[in-house]
Amino acid sequence: MNISLLTDLYELTMAYSYFKSNRNEISTFELFIRNFPENRNFLVSAGIDDIIKIISNFHFEEEDIMYLKSLKLFSDDFLDYLKNFKFKGDVWAIPSGQIYFPNEPVIRITADRISAQILETIILNQFNFQSMIASKCARIILASRNIPCVDFSARRDHGIDSSLKVAKVSYMCGFIGTSNVLAGKIYNIPVYGTMAHSYIMSFESEEKAFREFLKCFKEPVILIDTYNTIEGARKVLDLLKEGYKIRGVRIDSGDLVKLTKEVKQLFLNNGFDIKIFVSGDLDEYVIDDILSRGAIVDFFGVGTKMGTSSDAPYLNGVYKLVEDEYGMKIKTSPGKITLPGKKQVYRIYENGIMKKDIIAFEDEKIEGEPLLKKYIENGKVLIEENLEESRKFFKENLSRLPEYLRTIKKSEIEYNVEISQKLKEALEKLKLEHISDTKIN
Amino acid sequence: MNISLLTDLYELTMAYSYFKSNRNEISTFELFIRNFPENRNFLVSAGIDDIIKIISNFHFEEEDIMYLKSLKLFSDDFLDYLKNFKFKGDVWAIPSGQIYFPNEPVIRITADRISAQILETIILNQFNFQSMIASKCARIILASRNIPCVDFSARRDHGIDSSLKVAKVSYMCGFIGTSNVLAGKIYNIPVYGTMAHSYIMSFESEEKAFREFLKCFKEPVILIDTYNTIEGARKVLDLLKEGYKIRGVRIDSGDLVKLTKEVKQLFLNNGFDIKIFVSGDLDEYVIDDILSRGAIVDFFGVGTKMGTSSDAPYLNGVYKLVEDEYGMKIKTSPGKITLPGKKQVYRIYENGIMKKDIIAFEDEKIEGEPLLKKYIENGKVLIEENLEESRKFFKENLSRLPEYLRTIKKSEIEYNVEISQKLKEALEKLKLEHISDTKIN
């Protein structure tokens, strides 16, 4: 399915007006997040891989054009223009796996106005969602104290595309794999899974179920909480004593602190080092809580609340015109002011730890590491992201996060994001112009 | 892309064990919701159309089999079995657009155990998400007091599949259309949209932008809050006085109560009946609030909070084994008890209004309307849903909702969902058996 029509209709009505009024000059749009969702102290870029593919492949097929014609809104010359459409501009982005903050431009597109405009909806759709998931996963990684996590979210994610990209993004953030087989196939990431309660219930007894499973798999993980967790663990112990190899047990319900301790102790007392897999309504808050209270866990299966970022289920990224051939642009609606001009974000480190960011014009000479990289130049892709590399990159970036941001609660100290002097001055000048414009008219 | 591998790995490891242990007897699984999300008083079925298509088309392609082989978990005879897999069972469901409640079976699948099991993940993925959105939209429809709503959510939905299905489901629930052009094309639903702030900012002045847009479109809707909403409205008024036809104005920010009243009054005072479109962070709570406080609105554009169901971003639907050839089944994990056996839901009306539901075995003789319909029999599709019919069906069902449930707050009275005497007895008997089973072992 060609997804280039996955756009708000207004992108096309605006494009039509630009086409008709010869307003298709080179323009620059930037995507940024307005403010932090609940409890977030930093955000993580993600989905740039998909966005670059979508932009470089953006085109309209005959059936798309036919559909647009059927709307009776557009002239034939505009539809012909769309039929031959190809993105020929430049795209800059903060790479997937990099940490960023509100108001920082994360994607910057410079292209003829129509090209830059009609990409808005799909870019926001992919970035808002994937960055939200990455930002959630970073919190889970912080809370889980190096205990490996696996994505179990497919059944509660918002549809097909969501389930695949949640698996990908969680892996990028350090999850060790996913239960989602299609995601494993597409992204070449490890897949995990053993059995459900229904499996246990399909046999005359729990023991019979365990024995049948052991016939098929070497060293499996056994689900022990279908009827009574401790009884389930005892049955696993009996099988271990018989000589079966069992990698671990999974506990999906009940008092996780009490049960994981009792079950681990039961095995250790009998000389077996059995891994404890814990799942069931986990998120960074529950993980932090049960680990603080002494739960003994070797692996976490994290599902629903991660895959929907349930405490903050959207990121309010916006995509705004910042400059065109007539000059720099701002919007002055209440609470929705934008920073004008083509910008870059510079990051300053101290002893390898992030110290502050500076948002500046792209052509300013500013100390620090420029975060936005050029992905597409004149329509040609310069960088294709690789998931394994993004995963390493995120790990590095997370290690540079200052201590005061490494918390799942709202940090009392905010990370310092400065605006360059030149940018401040340009903003003030534009604000004054708009105020006088409003008064005169 | 074939999505049959969009499944948790454990569905396949379980299937493999059933295959190897000759446990592929006819079994019945049911999908139900455990409990209400935040503030919900009823739920709405949705996505049955997609689920029926997915089941009837469920198959594994050569590349899927190759991938599974590469996991080195499964024997060749099992992979051959999957290669020839086709669903041959029965599927019952509560149709899209019907109202239902927690613990009621919404989808019931009877098939060989492997077939019924491996559908679990994808069915839950689609149903949990689409029913969550439908249940959210129903609340927005109740709050908006017959003022038409349009889906504006694409940029914040969780990916591509999500954005399409949010458009579809919101339309089913009575929204008049969507901004999402691809959804308009696929589902044949009306598309809406005019201009963004960036459009206005692309011209030397707001007035110039309005004039250029009017050259392209007859009777458009004009966005008036880019700089100053009242000034924007005055510019529209001037254009109306010049003789331009303008359908309405859109306000996307600011004090919506104050601004909509002032703007409407400005136009009425000058003899123009201009429609007011309102958008910007709307949901049932905001809509109810601003209407209660006197906002004058002709259309709502509802986005982010609807498309992510932000106050309740997941539905905890589960899919459980309830019966097989060895008898009825329950799970007894704490807080996770299931109702045994193949069930039907019967609805009793009084004066055309829903009075109570009874969950009973499918073969009991119970008064009332049976809600579950047979969609697939022996693998053959009997019912294909039609979006326009589901939309009418939902409207009818919503009109039968009792007054005490027509609130966006949690109703003080819960709708009465009874469990039949026979079902209660069977549940008690099975509970006793499990307790004795646990004690003996």
Residues of B in contact with A12 (CB under 8 A): 181, 193
pLDDT score of B404: 97
Q: Which two tokens stand for residue A178?
A: 């996913």
Partner-chain contact B181 A120, CB within 8 Å: no
pLDDT at B436 over 60: no
- ipTM for the whole complex: 0.96
pLDDT tens for B50-61 read 999 999 999 999
Q: A405 to chain B nearest CA, in Å?
A: 25
Taking CA–CA distances from B14, the nearest residue in chain A reads A195
- Predicted confidence at residue A438, as pLDDT, reads 45
Chain length of chain A: 441
Question: Domain of A13: which CATH number?
Answer: 3.20.140.10
Do residues B386 and B99 lie in contact, with contact meaning Cβ atoms separated by under 8 Å? no
Distance CA A344, CA A170 (A): 27
Domain boundary pick from A281, A307, A333: A307
- Candidates B115, B127, B124; CA nearest to B12 is B115
Let me know whether A275 and A337 are in one domain.
no
Report yes or no on A385 lying in a domain: yes
Examine residue A4 and state whether it is found in any structural domain, yes or no: no
Full-model pTM: 0.97
Q: How far is CA A185 from CA A164, A180, B6, B294, in A?
A: 10, 9, 10, 54
Report which of B335, B435, B438, B329 is spatially closest to residue A234, judged by C-alpha positions.
Answer: B438
* pLDDT at residue B347 is higher than 90: yes
Nearest beta carbon to residue A17 from set B8, B9, B213: B213
- Looking at residue B320, its amino acid is K
Put simply, whether A228 touches B (Cβ < 8 Å) is yes
Chain B neighbors of A134, CB-CB under 8 A: none
- Closest residue to B434, CB basis, from A13, A227, A334: A227
A188 and A254 within one domain: yes
Query: Do A159 and A241 sit in the same domain of this protein?
Result: yes
B16 at interface of A, judged by CB pairs closer than 8 A = yes
- Domain CATH number, residue A222: 3.20.20.70
Instruction: Determine whether the interchain pair A215/B17 forms a contact, defined as Cβ–Cβ distance below 8 Å.
Output: yes
Residues A123, A157 within the same domain:
no
Residue B166: how many other CB atoms lie within 10 Å: 33
Q: CA of A348, closest CA in chain B: separation in Å?
A: 31
Chain B residues lying within 8 Å of A334, measured CB to CB: 253-254
Whether residue B126 lies within 8 A of chain A, CB to CB, comes out as yes
- Whether the per-residue pLDDT at B260 is higher than 80: the answer is yes
Please check whether residue B200 is in contact with residue B231, taking contact to mean a CB–CB distance below 8 angstroms.
no
Whether residues A28 and A157 fall in one domain: no
What are the two backbone dihedrals, phi and then psi, of residue B8, each rounded to the nearest 5 degrees?
-65, 140
Burial of A363 (0-12, 13-18, 19+ CB in 10 A): exposed
Question: How far is Cα B290 from Cα A380, in angstroms, rounded to an integer?
Answer: 48
Strands (E), A39-185: 43-44, 90-93, 99-100, 107-112, 149-151, 177-178
User: How many domains, in total, are found in chain A?
Assistant: 2
Instruction: Tell me how many residue pairs between chain A and chain B have CB atoms under 8 A apart.
Output: 344
Instruction: Let me know whether A380 and A436 are in one domain.
Output: yes
Tokens of A302: 């994290």
- Residue of A22, A198, A230, A333 for testing the chain B interface, max B β-carbons within 10 Å: A198
Final residue before a domain boundary, out of A280, A307, A334: A307
First to last CA, chain B: 47
| Chain B residues with beta carbon closer than 8 angstroms to that of A224 | none
Q: Per the domain annotation, does A179 fall within a domain?
A: yes
B387 Cα to chain A: minimum distance (Å): 18
With a cut of 60, say whether residue B440 has pLDDT above it: no
Pairing mode, strands A299-302 and A149-151: parallel
For chain A, say whether B264 makes contact (Cβ under 8 Å): no
- Same domain for A355 and A299: no
Burial class (CB in 10 A: 0-12, 13-18, 19+), A209: buried
Choice among A328-332, A418-422, B367-371, B385-389 with the minimum mean pLDDT = A328-332
Among the candidates A278, A307, A336, a domain finishes at A307
CB contact under 8 A, B159 and A154: no
Task: Give CA A224 to chain center in angstroms.
Answer: 33
The pLDDT value given to residue A334: 63
CA nearest A21 in B: which residue? B212
Mean pLDDT of chain B: 95
Per-residue pLDDT, B201: 86
> Are A270 and A328 within one domain?
no
Any B CB within 8 A of A207 CB: yes
Q: How confident is the model over B84-136, as pLDDT tens digits?
A: 999 999 999 999 999 999 999 999 999 999 999 999 999 999 999 999 999 99
For residue A3, being part of any structural domain is answered with no
- The β-bridge partners of B377 are B380
A13 → closest Cβ in B7, B195, B310:
B195
Q: Is B138 helix (H, G, I), strand (E, B) or coil?
A: helix
Q: Which residues of A312-342 are buried (b: 16+ CB within 10 A; e: fewer)?
A: bbbbbbbbbbbbbeeebbbbbbeebebbbbb
A64 and A26 within one domain: yes
Q: Average pLDDT of B60-83?
A: 97
B332 touches chain A (CB under 8 A): yes
**Chain B residues closer than 8 Å to A128 by CB:** 155-156
Query: Tens-digit pLDDT profile for chain A (441 aa)?
Result: 899 999 999 999 999 999 999 999 999 999 999 999 989 999 999 999 999 999 999 999 999 999 999 999 999 999 999 999 999 999 999 999 999 999 999 999 999 999 999 999 999 999 999 999 999 999 999 999 999 999 999 999 999 999 999 999 999 999 999 999 999 999 999 999 989 988 998 898 999 999 999 999 999 999 999 889 999 999 999 999 999 999 999 999 999 999 999 999 999 999 999 999 999 999 999 999 999 999 999 999 999 999 999 999 999 999 999 999 988 988 766 666 789 999 999 999 999 999 999 999 999 999 999 999 999 999 999 999 999 999 999 999 999 999 999 999 999 999 999 999 999 999 999 888 876 544 333
Give the model's pLDDT for residue B333. 65
H or E, element range at B116: helix B113-118
Which residue range(s) make up the domain with A161?
A: 142-307
Q: Do B227 and A73 touch (CB under 8 A)?
A: no
Least Cα separation, residue A188 to chain B (angstroms): 10
CB B238 within 8 A of CB B224: no
Is the confidence at residue B413, as pLDDT, over 80? yes
What pLDDT digit, counting tens, does each position of B17-45 carry? 999 999 999 999 999 999 999 899 999 99
Instruction: Please answer yes or no on whether A198 and B321 come within 8 Å at the CB atom.
Output: yes
Domain co-membership, A265 together with A360? no
In a domain, B262, yes or no: no
Q: What is the CA radius of gyration of chain B?
A: 26
Give the minimum alpha-carbon distance from A136 to chain B in angstroms, rounded to a whole number.
Answer: 14
User: B145: which residues sit within 8 A by CB, 6+ positions away?
Assistant: B291
DSSP assigned state of B373? E
pLDDT in tens, B185-230: 999 999 999 899 889 988 989 999 999 999 999 999 999 998 899 9
The Cα A46–Cα A37 span in angstroms is 16
Q: State the Cα angle at B164 between B162 and B166, rounded to 5°.
A: 65
Instruction: Please identify which residue in the block is written with the tokens 């409407």.
Output: B264
Beta bridge partners of B301: B150, B279
Q: How far apart are CA B224 and CA B234, in angstroms?
A: 9
Position B209 in a domain:
no
Residues A183 and A199 in one domain: yes
Q: Is B195 on the interface with A (CB under 8 A)?
A: yes
Contacts of A324 in chain B (CB under 8 A): 202
Measured CA to CA, the distance from residue B59 to residue B53 in angstroms comes to 12
Using the structure block, give the residue that is written with the tokens 């599949």.
B161
- Give the whole-angstrom CA distance, residue B222 versus residue B224: 6
Nearest CB partner across the interface for A16, out of B198, B216, B314: B216
What's the pLDDT score for residue B429? 92
Yes or no: say if A188 and A206 are a contact pair by the CB < 8 Å rule.
Answer: no
* A5–B182 C-beta distance less than 8 A: yes
- CA-CA distance, A283 to A142, in Å (whole number)? 11
pLDDT of residue B326: 87
In a domain, A1, yes or no: no
Given strand A380-381, what is the order of strands in its sheet?
A: A327-328, A317-324, A26-33, A107-112, A90-93, A373-377, A380-381
A224 & A264 share domain: yes
Cβ within 8 Å, pair A6-B163: yes
> Touching check for A208 and chain B: CB below 8 Å?
no
Does the beta-carbon distance from A198 to B117 stay under 8 Å? yes
User: Could you give the percent of chain B with pLDDT greater than 90?
Assistant: 92
**Strand pairing class (A353-361; A416-419):** parallel
Q: How far apart are CA A407 and CA A134, in angstroms?
A: 16
In a domain, residue B25? The reply is yes
**Two tokens at A367?**
């100390």
Residue among A364, A329, A368 nearest A349 (CA):
A368
Q: Does B309 touch chain A (CB under 8 A)?
A: yes
Mean pLDDT of the region B275-290? 97
